Structure 1
Amino acid sequence: MELYDVIGIGIGPYNLGLAALSEPVDDIKALFFEQNTEFEWHPGMLIEGTDLQDPFLVDLVTFADPTSPYTFLNYVHKHNRLYQFYFFSRMDIPRREYNQYAKWVANQLSSCRFGKRVIDVIDHEDHYEVMIEDVRTGDKDAYYAKHVVIGTGNTPLVPSGFEGAPKKDVIHTSGYVPNEKSIKHDARSITVIGSGQSAAEVFYDLLQDRDYYGYKLTWFTRTPHFYQMEQSKLAREAFSPDYVRYFHSLPFEKRTEALSTIDRLRHGTEGGLLNRIYDTLYHRSVDGKDRYVRIQPSVEVNEIHPSKEGKGYTLSCHQEGLGETFHHETDKVILATGYKPNMPKWLERYREIIIWEDDKRFKVARNYHIEFEDNRKHHLFTLMNLEHSHGSSATNLGLSVQRNQMILNTIAKREVYPLQTNTVFQQYDL
């Protein structure tokens, strides 16, 4: 039996970063499986002109090892783009370029296996048996590892009132780009539902082409305002190892309370994009073209039904401030309603021996392993469902590198990648 030190399930940016950092470590034998046949990062939202919301330094490896061959800077150097990037003179990079960079890294790593679906993880006394199915052939195989890292990502969150609606007309933002042309070409009216960066990016893209295609455009959000993401430098220090360490040390109740205080850091909309939307609307208002665009906060959209007119749909809406309901007619709906953790079904087998903080959230140790009643040494690490335990580290690309450092150090039982402390000007602990 060949025993690996770690097997990663899913190859998104988080596990891909773990694979890249583990590649040069001689005493860590790692393997990573992904059911998709190639790496893709949010392909439905790779809208041309959109940028990563974080600086290029939040690549897969730089915060752990700036000398790694898998840095973004080495990527642009190898692709003869370093001078272009230099004259670009910006810290943020195109979202599509980040995806291409990650593909470049994935294609170099021998530990990454695509087209392989993990169908089960069986617990043994001191290791796990990981069952794999080849998506092309259906062949099954077993691999063995001391530790397993769950990186199965998130799935689109579709509100209950929209379940079962035709997918060609009701599209989650995760599928926007593949359907963009048909959405714009076929619709007389389009409604975007939701708030945050994804909603704003889709709305802006639709707004730019509205005059050409002639559709009516509506944006409903349940929030009372269109909140700008907090970008001040001191506030952004919440995305630091020091803050995550402090957050994790808090009692569960205090952690859940603290989540609401950092929402503006995690879920707001980039201010420049909100300004571009406003500027576009202002310019078009000169000729009265803005009358075909409707933006309305404090509106909760509850259900969708086929229109009585025989074409399109009727949305049942509730205006929170006035406490009144109304109906809205539309041909296409774009749901910017977020995501939910894609927890694997096989994890249910472990429910009775996992330590839970409440009915839905398991306890996660500082080094990101799920805590078990038996205090086991062969760990199930998780890269997801971490908001309640690690706060700002849950979905931040930069902090994912520090997370991978901790996981690799735990697996190796030594400090493979030194962890940095006192990284910010603020002091969170006493």
Structure 2
Amino acid sequence: MEIKKHVDIMGIGLGPFNLGLATLIEEGTELTSYFVDKQSSLQWHPGMLIEMTDLQVPFIADLVTFANPKSEFTFLNYLHEQGRLYAFYYFNRFDIPRKEYNAYLQWVASKLLTCQFNIHVDDVSYDTENEVYHVSCTDRQTKETFAVHTRHLVMGTGTVPAIPGKFKEKMSANCIHSSEYLPYEKELKKATSITVVGSGQSAAEIFYDLLYAQEDHGYELSWFTRSAGFFQMEEGKLGIEMFSPDFTEYFHQLPYSARKEALPRLEGIRNGVQVKTLKNIYDLLYHRSIGQKRSPAKIRPTSELKEIKEQPTKVQLTFHQWQTNASFEHQTEKLVLATGYKPNLPEWFLRMSDEMQWESETEFAVELDGRVSFKDKRQGQIFALTNVVHAHGTSATNLALAVQRNQRIIHYLTDEHTYPISKDNTFTTFE
């Protein structure tokens, strides 16, 4: 197989994390790099780019600003080049539409020659003698196969829908995961009844979109979750100091047992629904209820979905109300499972399992900069951007803190503080 490239670092997967790294490497270093994605273009959660939904972090948490606000790849420069800077000024918001964030990512990717799409990574192996990773690839357009030799790898393979095993075989045009909402939206809204299961931001956004369109289509609408309630995300100013480099450093140095014990307590900070989304839902419910004898929607917490039976004209659902230990049935024509996501770990990575150090059966040891800990202390590193919640806590999936992780990766690769990480950013003391 022809060796097409020899580079210092190769990124597999092009989402915001790896795209930001590619950008910082391009602007501030002499490193050679190559970033690939099997998709034909960059699409950030395309099934959830619902009209009027916003990013959950402010625009300053773009790909580069926290590392280099003078970069040409900032969100503000994107607006400037698109002729939208004044419009954004009049918009007068700190957060940005999710669709525009996706457009910003595509704009950045289009400017970087080191980022290539339609490239599938078939296999990866480590050459211990030459201290390089041998990456076998296929160009999905030309069908050409080739290899890349790289000193280091960055695994940015993201997540895949988390569908409980017993429900996977039930997925169909009538039972979909929230990640497929937009492609199925029109068909969903033609139904006589729709049920949403889940309590996170995605579930809330889908429920609101369906509630908003309910009067035009006339379907019955239900929202169930096994959680104790529909709770808001932490948005208090002191609370969000947990999304800081300072807290990440503190959390990472804790013993594994302490980190695992802390994670459930961080759920209200990491997950939950934005306050404004819950407010919009309640306001719309209130207005729709005026003069009505019943609620425009059925909403039930503490109800865990136990069984799905698809019938010719309906889907029969069985729920367990775990506080009263009682089961009940619910019929719907369409079902949306907003059951979240799980890490997408490729086969080539899992084949290296015996070479890694593990903190549990499913959680590999990882350094503060994302380096996977190998038993052989090899020179060639794999930096993991997924399956690191146990090591990085609140920063694991946070877009703003992706920048500081990329700063650390570049520091490791260059042995220089090209992008110094700011210290003492919080009023809260974590040590």
**Shared fold per TM-score greater than 0.5:** yes
- Distance, in Å, in 2 between the alignment partners of 1:289 and 1:66 is 55
Instruction: Tell whether the 8 Å contact from 1:64 to 1:402 is kept in structure 2 after alignment.
Output: yes
Letter in 1 for 2:116: R
The answer on 1:313 being equivalent to 2:315 is yes
Give the secondary structure class of the aligned counterpart of 1:123: strand
The answer on 1:99 being equivalent to 2:102 is yes
- Distance, in Å, in 1 between the alignment partners of 2:427 and 2:124 is 43
- Distance, in Å, in 1 between the alignment partners of 2:420 and 2:29 is 17
The answer on 1:117 being equivalent to 2:120 is yes
1:161 shift after superposition: 3.0
Letter in 2 for 1:300: E
Letter in 1 for 2:277: L
What does residue 376 of structure 2 align with? 374
What does residue 185 of structure 2 align with? 180
1:281 shift after superposition: 1.0
TM-score computed with the length of structure 1 as normaliser: 0.97
Among candidates 185, 188, 205, match of residue 201 of structure 1: 205
- Distance, in Å, in 1 between the alignment partners of 2:136 and 2:293 is 58
Letter in 2 for 1:392: T
Instruction: Tell whether the 8 Å contact from 1:45 to 1:173 is kept in structure 2 after alignment.
Output: yes
1:289 shift after superposition: 6.8
Deviations 1:180-233 (A, max 9, x none): 111101x11100000111100000000011111111000000101111111110
Give the secondary structure class of the aligned counterpart of 2:417: coil
The answer on 1:247 being equivalent to 2:251 is yes
- Distance, in Å, in 2 between the alignment partners of 1:212 and 1:84 is 31
What does residue 73 of structure 1 align with? 76
The answer on 1:297 being equivalent to 2:301 is yes
Deviations 1:272-315 (A, max 9, x none): 111111111111111217544100000000111023xx311100
1:166 shift after superposition: 4.3
What does residue 22 of structure 1 align with? 25
Letter in 2 for 1:326: F
Deviations 1:367-399 (A, max 9, x none): 210001111121010011110000011000000
Q: Say what the alpha-carbon RMSD is for the aligned residues.
A: 1.1
What does residue 223 of structure 1 align with? 227
Unpaired runs of at least 5, structure 1: none
Instruction: Tell whether the 8 Å contact from 1:313 to 1:331 is kept in structure 2 after alignment.
Output: yes
- Distance, in Å, in 2 between the alignment partners of 1:137 and 1:328 is 49
- Distance, in Å, in 2 between the alignment partners of 1:202 and 1:36 is 25
Identity %: 46
Give the secondary structure class of the aligned counterpart of 1:32: strand
1:167 shift after superposition: 2.0
Give the length in aligned residue pairs.
426
- Equivalent residue runs for 1:24-423 within 5 Å: 24-125=27-128, 126-185=131-190, 187-288=191-292, 290-307=294-311, 310-423=312-425
Give the secondary structure class of the aligned counterpart of 2:349: helix
Instruction: Tell whether the 8 Å contact from 1:284 to 1:290 is kept in structure 2 after alignment.
Output: no
Per mean C-alpha deviation after superposition, the further-off stretch among 384-393 and 129-138 is 129-138
Deviations 1:393-428 (A, max 9, x none): 100000000000101111112212111111111111
Instruction: Tell whether the 8 Å contact from 1:244 to 1:393 is kept in structure 2 after alignment.
Output: yes
Deviations 1:123-172 (A, max 9, x none): 01211011111112322100011000000010001122321124211111
Letter in 2 for 1:67: K
- Distance, in Å, in 2 between the alignment partners of 1:166 and 1:289 is 35
Give the secondary structure class of the aligned counterpart of 1:317: strand
After TM superposition, the runs of 4+ consecutive aligned structure 1 residues lying more than 3 A away are 289-292
- Distance, in Å, in 1 between the alignment partners of 2:368 and 2:183 is 39
- Distance, in Å, in 2 between the alignment partners of 1:289 and 1:112 is 57
Letter in 2 for 1:149: V
Deviations 1:327-370 (A, max 9, x none): 11011001110001010101122111100001110000122100
Instruction: Tell whether the 8 Å contact from 2:288 to 2:296 is kept in structure 1 after alignment.
Output: no
Q: 1:423 to 1:292 in 2, by over 3 A?
A: closer
- Distance, in Å, in 1 between the alignment partners of 2:291 and 2:237 is 40
Instruction: Tell whether the 8 Å contact from 1:153 to 1:384 is kept in structure 2 after alignment.
Output: yes
